[in-house]
C-alpha cells in the first residue's frame, strides 16, 4: 500500500506539471523587431537612453545571439561614456578608445541585423 501511494503521488505531480506552464509568445517577426529597434535608436540621444528599451525587445528567430552581442556592446558603450564623462579610467583602455570600439561593434551588429537607423546613429554621433 505504501508503494502504491508513492507511485500515485508521483504520477499526480507529473500529470499536474504537464501543460500547466505559461505559454510564451512566439518571437517577433524580423520586420517588427527592426521597426521597434530603429524607433528606439531614432528617439534616443545617448547610449544610456537606448539600452533599457533595447533590452526590453525580443530578438527575432535565429538572431538572439547576435542581438545579445549588440546589447553587450551597448552596455560597454554606456560604461565607456560614463568613464569618459567623469574622467575615470575603469578599464585597461582609454575611455575614448573603449567607446569607439563599442560603437563600432554596435554599428556592425545593428547593420548585420538590418537595423540601419541604429547603425547610422551610433558611430561618432552620440554624446558621452
Range ranked top by mean pLDDT from 5-14, 24-33, 36-45: 36-45
Q: Which residue has the higher pLDDT, 94 or 15?
A: 94
User: The cell 568613464 sits on which residue?
Assistant: 83
How far lies 38's CA from each of 33, 54, 97, in Å? 8, 10, 25
Of 2-6, 55-59, 86-90, 98-102, the poorest mean pLDDT is in 2-6
Q: What sign has the CA pseudo-torsion 126, 55, 36, 40?
A: negative
Of 15-19, 24-28, 71-75, the poorest mean pLDDT is in 15-19
The C-alpha atoms of residue 57 and residue 91 are separated, in whole angstroms, by 28
Closest CA to 48 of 120, 108, 127: 127
User: The cell 505531480 sits on which residue?
Assistant: 13
Domain ranges within the chain, ordered by starting residue = 29-120
> Mind listing the pLDDT tens digit for each residue in 57-91?
999 999 999 999 999 999 999 999 898 888 877 66
Amino acid at each position: 500500500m505504501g508503494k502504491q501511494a508513492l507511485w500515485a503521488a508521483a504520477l499526480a505531480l507529473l500529470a499536474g506539471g504537464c501543460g500547466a506552464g505559461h505559454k510564451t509568445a512566439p518571437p517577433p517577426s524580423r520586420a517588427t523587431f527592426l521597426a521597434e529597434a530603429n524607433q528606439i535608436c531614432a528617439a534616443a540621444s545617448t547610449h544610456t537612453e537606448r539600452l533599457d528599451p533595447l533590452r526590453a525587445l525580443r530578438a527575432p528567430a535565429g538572431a538572439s545571439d547576435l542581438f545579445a552581442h549588440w546589447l553587450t556592446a551597448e552596455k560597454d558603450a554606456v560604461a565607456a561614456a560614463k568613464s569618459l564623462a567623469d574622467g575615470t579610467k575603469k578599464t585597461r583602455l582609454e575611455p575614448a578608445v573603449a567607446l569607439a570600439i563599442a560603437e563600432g561593434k554596435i554599428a556592425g551588429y545593428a547593420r548585420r541585423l538590418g537595423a540601419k537607423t541604429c547603425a547610422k546613429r551610433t558611430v561618432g554621433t552620440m554624446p558621452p
